[in-house]
Amino acid sequence: MRNDNRNNQNGNANQERINGQAQETTNTPDYIAMQYRMVRVESGWKTRKERIGVAFNNSSNNSICFRPSGQQVIEGDIYLFPYENNPA
């Protein structure tokens, strides 16, 4: 019930505000945001790709909206890969 009240106060969960107007959005991202991190293994160090969020194309102003997953500290570069039906 609490989530329903929050959605009613903020508008529909599937709408996004752009220039003050609510517009319908799809939940499928256009890009997957990955970051390469070093992890310790028996023989030394290994590079690992880690998914840190998703990104969406914003056609109203030709920009990309990045949405990180959860709360995290992001150090270094972020790489955007096109979203496919079966992301790794």
How many structural domains does the chain have? 1
User: Would 57 be classed as within a structural domain?
Assistant: yes
Both structure tokens of 36: 């390469």
User: Would 88 be classed as within a structural domain?
Assistant: no
Domain residue limits at 39? 2-82
In the sheet with 79-82, reading across from the earlier edge strand, the strands are 63-68, 44-58, 31-41, 79-82
What one-character DSSP code corresponds to residue 3?
H
pLDDT in tens, the chain (88 residues): 444 444 444 444 445 555 555 455 567 889 999 999 888 999 999 999 899 999 999 888 889 999 999 888 888 899 999 988 644 5
pTM over 0.85: no
